[in-house]
Amino acid sequence: MDIKITLPDGSNRRVPQYTTIAEIAESISISLRKQAVAGKLNGRLVDLQAELAQDGALEIVTLDSADGLAVYRHSAAHVLAQALKRIYGEAKVKLGIGPVIQDGFYYDIDMEHSLTPEDLQAIEAEMSAIVRENLPIVRRIVSRSEALAFFNWREESLKVELINELPKDAVITMYEQGEFSDLCRGPHLPSTGKLKAFKLLSVAGAYWRGNAENRMLQRIYGTAFVKPAELEEHLRMLEEAKQRDHRKLGKELELFMFSEEAPGMPFYLPKGMLIRTELENFARRLQRERDYEEVRTPQMMNNRLWEQSGHYDHYKDNMYFTMVDDVKYSLKPMNCPGHILVYKNSLHSYRELPIRIAEFGQVHRHEFSGALSGMMRVRTFCQDDAHLFVLPEQIGEEIGKVIEMIDHIYKVFGFEYQVELSTRPDDFMGDVELWNEAESSLQKVLEARGIPYRLNAGDGAFYGPKIDFHILDALKRSWQCGTIQLDFQMPEKFEMNYIGEDGQKHRPVMIHRAVYGAIDRFMGILIEHFAGAFPLWLAPVQVKLLPVSANYTDDALQVKETLKQAGIRVDVDVRNEKLGLKIRDGELEKVPYLLVIGEQERQSSSVSVRKRGAGDLGRIDVAALIQQIFAEVKAGQELAED
């Protein structure tokens, strides 16, 4: 019996039932068969040896695709596990999971020996030996009892746990390569010899299944690429990322610190606070121009508010609670309910809408200590939140204005970005019809503006769908920052009203909006994006004065006062050190302007100027330099204020 296969170009082929994907690839072309590593049958990745039993849509997956690279890296994870078993012994290495992640893979293992960087080199060498053996990778379907017997015999308790949690009707598969077998859904490469370029990167602790109550395992991170040149470029980028790491630069540039007395809670040092203040003031200016009203709401509120909003049900495991006069209170994990109370503080007419309420609101969310990561993952952070309360017919226009503002701000920092539309999650709150209406509204705004977007099904907030903005930094890494969320649910739950043209009460629509997202995280991204060399308007120290010797310190202090009075952020290096060292240190501090003052400068009432990125500009009159700095700052601010 023949079946019909529909290919990506829309063409159809009739093939005998139970033809394998590999055979179909070969029937299309010999070169395609050589490049193929898997198939995508009705949207699901399957092995090349999978047999087609009925009509369906088929895509041949090759190594030059994202899906092909994922298969490639998944097989690299299995080769890693096999190498570990060979080196340390079958009985001494117990396997957890080994998934593909962004830019690579990892494998969680349970073993007594603590792995070192030197161990990783030996493991890599054994992986290379397995690749040279070119072992066929074979998929095998097994029964539940067979799988349990196999892994119980090997005392692989973590695998047994996974099997026991599979649905009763699950198809259980194992993959074998040489002496090695693993529980896995697949798919995988046809053989280990297909692997060409891989690298083990690091080892870290990880709780089994991310639960701090479970045992601590060792997680080995690695990456793999089809071409050695791609691997080399990736490793170069990783090294560049290390040099740009905001934790490293934040310490070197004295921007922020952390303390054991407040884990996951950043302390802003004076220079870091200057940057944060500039970021906030930049956003404030734009918001004032767009008729936002800034408010400040309490850090701690009665827990019944969070129960009413639904946040308690969804965030209680990440909230901080306390008792006040026998009443349960919580530190706010979000700003929305506070803004709703501000809205409800007075009656509103339809003529007042849209009402735009903004706040730089500090929120608190408990994260496991192992998840904390500098400014990128903290337990308290400031969100540049705004909530717009609008008439239904104002939705499109208001969301459009928010998109324009987000686009404007990101361009100031040189960020490209990608847009994602996230729809109703499984744990959604409210009526499906309202959700459909909200999703349709967001989709229409994006399409009307011709904005390309990716659909992220099921990842909306529990109260509404959202548009997320993923910025790309200097290393082309993606960070989700801005968001626009359309909410029909909260106005219902809090019985929010406005008086319509008909004199009756109506529900407003609520739009949640953030541009930076968490300002702390955005700062971390900026530090890495600029490698600490902030644009002049954002730099915490814009000018540093370098007296040639102690004889010229007073001259430098006089120039400092002149610059300070002009509103320029300035510092003086008064150390009794050689000029060359002062220049070097100023460059390491990434100060935009270094001004040298010696005898010639004293006589001519000028300064010798070294500009970051431009080198020596020669002697310049102080008044002229002030105008030059003003012009450069204004250029950045004009871009900001347009």
- The residue whose two tokens read 């909260």 is 490
Cβ contacts of residue 274 below 8 Å, gap of 6+? Answer: 540, 569
Report the pLDDT value the prediction gives residue 459, as an integer from 0 to 100.
Answer: 78
pLDDT digits (tens, 9 = 90+) for 453-473: 988 888 787 878 889 999 988
Any idea which fold 93-235 has? Threonyl-tRNA Synthetase; Chain A, domain 2 (3.30.980)
- For residue 418, give the 3-state DSSP assignment: strand
Report the pLDDT value the prediction gives residue 639, as an integer from 0 to 100.
Answer: 57
Q: Domain 2-62 is in which class?
A: alpha beta
CATH 3.30.980.10 domain locations along the chain: 93-235
Give 320-343 as a 3 state SS string: CEEEECCEEEEECCCCHHHHHHHH
CATH 3.10.20.30 domain locations along the chain: 2-62
Cα 611 off chain centre by: 33
pLDDT at 180 over 80: yes
Report whether the peptide linkage leading into residue 592 is cis, meaning its omega lies within 30 degrees of zero: no
Residue 638: pLDDT band (50, 70, 90) is: low
Paired tokens of 529: 């994006």
Cα 329 off chain centre by: 31
CATH 3.40.50.800 domain locations along the chain: 543-641
- For residue 23, give the 3-state DSSP assignment: helix
Count of helices and strands (H, E) across the chain: 20, 33
Lowest mean pLDDT among 208-212, 377-381, 397-401: 208-212
The letter for the amino acid at 113 is H
Region 558-575: mean pLDDT is 94
CATH 3.30.930.10 domain locations along the chain: 256-297+348-529
CATH entry 2.60.120.260 includes domain 543-641 = no
Report the pLDDT value the prediction gives residue 642, as an integer from 0 to 100.
Answer: 46
Q: 341-347 long-range CB contacts below 8 Å, 24 or more apart?
A: 341/297, 341/305, 342/295, 342/297, 343/387, 343/389, 343/496, 343/508, 344/494, 344/496, 347/497, 347/499
Any idea which fold 256-297+348-529 has? BirA Bifunctional Protein; domain 2 (3.30.930)
pLDDT digits (tens, 9 = 90+) for 79-126: 999 999 999 999 999 999 999 998 999 999 999 999 998 999 999 999
pLDDT digits (tens, 9 = 90+) for 185-240: 989 999 999 999 999 999 999 889 888 789 999 999 999 999 999 999 999 999 99
- For residue 269, give the 3-state DSSP assignment: coil
Residue by residue, DSSP assigns 339-397 as HHHHHTTS--BGGG-SEEEEEEEEEE----GGG-BTTTB-SEEEEEEEEEEE-GGGHHH
Mean pLDDT of all residues in the chain?
Answer: 92
pLDDT at 620 over 70: yes
Catalytic residues: 336, 365, 383, 385, 387, 466, 512
Lowest mean pLDDT among 16-20, 232-236, 556-560: 16-20
Residue 637: pLDDT band (50, 70, 90) is: low
Nearest CA-CA partner of 60 in 96, 33, 31:
33
Nearest CA-CA partner of 522 in 308, 323, 124, 246:
246
> Where are the alpha helices (H) located in 449-552, listed in sequence order?
489-493, 519-529
Cα R_g (the chain), whole angstroms: 30
> Where are the alpha helices (H) located in 165-269, listed in sequence order?
228-244, 246-252
Cβ contacts of residue 414 below 8 Å, gap of 6+? Answer: 474, 529
Kindly provide the b/e burial profile for residues 164-176, where b requires at least 16 CB atoms within 10 angstroms of the residue's own CB. eeeeeeeebbbbe
CA angle 521, 525, 527 (to 5 degrees): 115
The pTM assigned to this predicted structure is: 0.83
pLDDT digits (tens, 9 = 90+) for 21-73: 889 989 888 888 889 999 999 989 999 888 888 999 999 999 999 999 999 99
Cβ contacts of residue 302 below 8 Å, gap of 6+? Answer: 327, 328, 329
| Cα–Cα distances in angstroms (integers) from residue 85 to residues 182, 289, 342, 374, 610, in the given order | 12, 64, 61, 35, 58
Q: How far, in Å, CA of 389 to CA of 226, rounded?
A: 51
pLDDT digits (tens, 9 = 90+) for 25-38: 898 888 888 899 99
